[in-house]
Amino acid sequence: MTQSKLTPSQLSRRSVLRGAALGAGVVAVPGLLAACSNGSGSGSSGGSAKQTISLGSNYSDPTPKKGIQGMIDAYQSKSGNTVKVNTTEHNTYQTNITRYLQGNPDDVAAWFAGYRMQFFASKGYLADISDVWSGLQGFNDALKNASTGADGKQYFVPIYQYPWGMFYRKTLFDSKGYKAPATWDDLITLAKQMQKDGLTPIGFADKDGWPAMGTFDYINMRKNGYQFHVDLMAGKEAWTDQKVKDVFGLWSTLFPYYQTGALGRTWEEAGTSFGKKEVGLIVFGTPHVVLQAPTPADVEDSILFPFPAIDPANGVDSVEAPIDGFMVPKKAKNLTGAKDLAKYIGSADAENAYLKVDNSNVAVNSGADTSAYTSMQKQAIGLTQKAKSISQYMDRDTRPDFAQTVMISAIQSFIDKHSPSDIDALCTNIEAQKKSIFANPVS
Amino acid sequence: MVAPPVPTVEATAPRTAPVRRGRRRRLTARDILVLSVVVGVTVVLDLALIWGTSVVSVLLSFTNYDGISPIKWVGIKNYHDILTINPEFGTAVRNNLLWLVFLGLIATPFGIFLAVLLDRQLRFSRFYQSALYLPVALSLAVIGFLTQLILSQDQGVVNAILGRTHGNGIDFLGDSRLNIWMVLLFAGWRHVGYIMILYLAGLKSVDPALKEAAVIDGANPVQTFLRVVFPAMRPINVIVLVITVIESLRAFDIVYAINTGRNGLQLLSVLVVDNIIGEASRIGYGSAIAVMLMLVTLGFVITYLVNILREDSR
């Protein structure tokens, strides 16, 4: 691009230093110098001079971390700007997000689409990047909506998404003559058969507090429809509604077929059980299966299919497919640079660079290259493309204060007792806490 | 607040001059300045960091503050909600009390018992001492990780030894009826070593003549300890008691390392952190829990101070 060519009039103090350092043959110094002067020249240097941009990342596991580095390397060589990636362990990053955004955030920060982003936009922590969005191509309306705040402005750029669904092992199913269940009744029949055959039917883990939310969301969307899910998460529907009680009621009938001791098992451990074919089925997102598979052959052998239908009126029309991406904090020091990087992240090139390393997710930009997709990625695309509605996830579709302090413990307590007689009291309690929390306005 | 240190200064002064004149002469302007600065800085820090933050917490506990929105006064709503509809609060209070009872009635007496045994100059006494003290060198967060390695359901050592892997392991840490006891066991493991070393140091300072006298009077070892040594150890006993109470109320790291303090492992400190620091940012609500924890702590502190003052005035 023209940006990479410097004309004499655009020479700044830093680029002179950089030239001097390069001339001296010191390769590592320019980055350091630029990093030291982070933000100091962002206002005056304009669009065409080299900039330093900092990126806050929660991509802390080895593969995603390499993927981000791949994307950033591509950006740096394309733009000539320097990006300093600050990676934080993902749970710590998410726990500290409020203080991070209020304090001294990076110029661009990793986050999740949907309500979980809108919450911070409404609180005024995020910079409006609608101008960046006006230049982006290849995103459909659903993706734009997921990146849009309550005020109609965009605050988020997606990088990829991954669908949740049910998984089985092809070799296991072939050898036993099982078929993927299409309806709830099929699921129960199959689970009973598996039990007869001495196999634990469904893998289950919720020590981390969030993995079981996916099952709740799916039963809810299959039984009551996508719109009810959205309204329930937004606090518009009551948790004491019979529709919600029915969800818990249906869920409780699955427990005889679950792996026992879910509250003492992490999702990684459940993923390992699935990888070793110790369980017949599991409800997971694609990365959870891919990352825990013992060998690539085990990934090839894993088949993703839609969560079984419950009410024929809804069929399997909704898919839960969380979108990850990046936002620009309002306190970003280098806003120009941040927007330039955000614009790049919104390109098909950026998605290609990331997904070349991490093939457990799928691209969201229609211009992205899908020719090298693995069979798992092809299945994932197949699922999301057929969906009429796409939800994010319970903890991304509702307020973080409600998800983190009420729903995690409510679902864990349901898993602990999972008896139909406790559902009324549970729902009454969730509703009481919901009313108390939603009484505080978001903005 | 400037007055109390004065006698100290005077006590260390040589008593050559008459006291009255000495006081006037020794406290020069410079002394007063130094004293004011030293005492003043301490008082300011104390007010700002301890009393100031406590008062702010109490004030915030009556608001719905979330870190950014304008603060709105909500009266006792937070307290009302915590006491009526928060299902975790009751469990947290129960667990803090269990912690106190377990450390107070089992771990601490056991630590004292070990100290008394080791004080009798057994063979390999040094070895036992080091082995028992070792866990104290570990932080409770590290002990939390160890607990998982040992007790995890699918991959833990104990289930492997019992041959219960592949999905039929005992769920030591996930079963909410079992996990608090497992955690107490490991927290107690560390606490025992801590108390033992404190008490052992105290026992060394007890005059052996006291014990000899008791033996000559025909007391058996139990009587010697309970009637003679234990009462002589009063200062150490008080420290041990205070440490036990503090450890119980501030417990946090071990459960946070195991499952972030959920599902049967709730503690008041965890609820405070989850509400205030986490993504939730319910600062007003979390402050209300913190205030209740502070009231419980104050209860112990006041009881302790009243006892100390009463005994000292006798």
Distance of alpha carbon B65 from alpha carbon B62, whole angstroms: 9
Q: Does A122 touch chain B (CB under 8 A)?
A: no
**What are A184-214's pLDDT values in tens digits?**
999 999 999 999 999 999 999 999 999 999 9
Residue A191 vs residues A187, A219, A256, A292, B148: alpha-carbon distances, Å: 6, 17, 9, 23, 31
Residues A39 and A52: beta-carbon distance below 8 Å:
yes
For chain A, give the percent of residues with pLDDT over 90.
Answer: 78
Query: Tokens standing for B124?
Result: 């390999």
Q: Which pLDDT belongs to residue A238?
A: 97
Cβ contact, residue pair B281, A98, below 8 Å: yes
Residues 6+ apart with CB under 8 A from B286: B271, B272, B273, B274, B275, B276
Cβ contact, residue pair A433, B259, below 8 Å: no
Cβ contact, residue pair B171, A264, below 8 Å: yes
- Residues B229-234, mean pLDDT to the nearest whole number: 89
Which residues in chain B have their CB less than 8 angstroms from residue A443's CB?
Answer: 69
Q: Which of B166, B174, B260 sits opposite A278 (nearest CB)?
A: B166
Q: How many CB atoms lie within 10 A of CB B142?
A: 15
Task: Inform me whether the pLDDT recorded for A21 exceeds 50.
Answer: no
- Residues B30-50, mean pLDDT to the nearest whole number: 92
**What are A45-95's pLDDT values in tens digits?**
444 568 899 999 999 989 999 999 999 999 999 999 999 999 999 888 998
| Confidence band for B167, pLDDT divided at 50, 70 and 90 | low
Which residues in chain A have their CB less than 8 angstroms from residue B67's CB?
Answer: 98-99, 102
Architecture of domain A2-162+323-367: 3-Layer(aba) Sandwich (3.40)
Q: Which of A98, A264, A441 sits opposite B174 (nearest CB)?
A: A264
Cβ contact, residue pair B153, A265, below 8 Å: yes
The chain B residue lying nearest A201, using CA atoms, is B167
Q: Which of A131-145, A324-338, B289-303 has the highest mean pLDDT?
A: A324-338
| Confidence band for B13, pLDDT divided at 50, 70 and 90 | very low
| Confidence band for B2, pLDDT divided at 50, 70 and 90 | very low
Q: Which pLDDT belongs to residue B17?
A: 45
Mean pLDDT of chain B: 87
Structural domains of chain B ordered from first start = 5-60 (no CATH), 77-313 (1.10.3720.10)
Lowest mean pLDDT across A329-338, A390-399, B66-75, B242-251? B66-75
Which residues in chain B have their CB less than 8 angstroms from residue A209's CB?
Answer: 260, 262
Task: Inform me whether the pLDDT recorded for B4 exceeds 80.
Answer: no
What kind of fold does domain A164-320+393-438 have according to CATH? D-Maltodextrin-Binding Protein; domain 2 (3.40.190)
Task: Inform me whether the pLDDT recorded for A43 exceeds 70.
Answer: no
Cβ contact, residue pair B278, A440, below 8 Å: no
Picking from B147, B153, B265 by the largest number of A CB atoms within 10 A of its own CB, the best residue to mutate is B153
Task: Inform me whether the pLDDT recorded for B236 exceeds 80.
Answer: yes
Q: Which pLDDT belongs to residue B25?
A: 61
| Confidence band for A29, pLDDT divided at 50, 70 and 90 | very low
> Which among B90, B101, B69, B119 is positioned nearest to B224, based on CA atoms?
B119
Parse chain A into domains and list their residue ranges.
2-162+323-367, 164-320+393-438
Which residues in chain A have their CB less than 8 angstroms from residue B274's CB?
Answer: 404-405
Alpha helices in chain B, H assignment, sequence order:
5-12, 19-26, 29-45, 53-60, 77-85, 87-102, 108-118, 125-133, 140-151, 157-161, 179-204, 208-216, 221-223, 230-232, 234-250, 253-259, 268-276, 283-313
Q: Which pLDDT belongs to residue B122?
A: 81
Q: Which pLDDT belongs to residue A73?
A: 95
Q: Characterize the bridge pairing of strands A82-87 and A318-320.
A: unpaired
Q: Considering the entire predicted model, what is its pTM? A: 0.84
Q: Do domains A2-162+323-367 and A164-320+393-438 have the same CATH topology?
A: yes
The residue whose two tokens read 């009393």 is: B51
Q: Which pLDDT belongs to residue A41?
A: 37
Which SS3 state, helix, strand or coil, does residue A169 take? strand
Strand partners, A53: A83
Residues A244 and A427: beta-carbon distance below 8 Å:
yes
Chain centroid to CA A202: 23
Q: Does B163 touch chain A (CB under 8 A)?
A: no
**Total CB pairs under 8 A between chain A and B:** 109
Distance of alpha carbon B34 from alpha carbon B23, whole angstroms: 16
**What are A284-302's pLDDT values in tens digits?**
999 999 988 989 999 999 9
Query: Tokens standing for A352?
Result: 């290609």
Dihedral of CA atoms A141, A147, A149, A150 in degrees, nearest 10, equals: 40
Q: Does A417 touch chain B (CB under 8 A)?
A: no
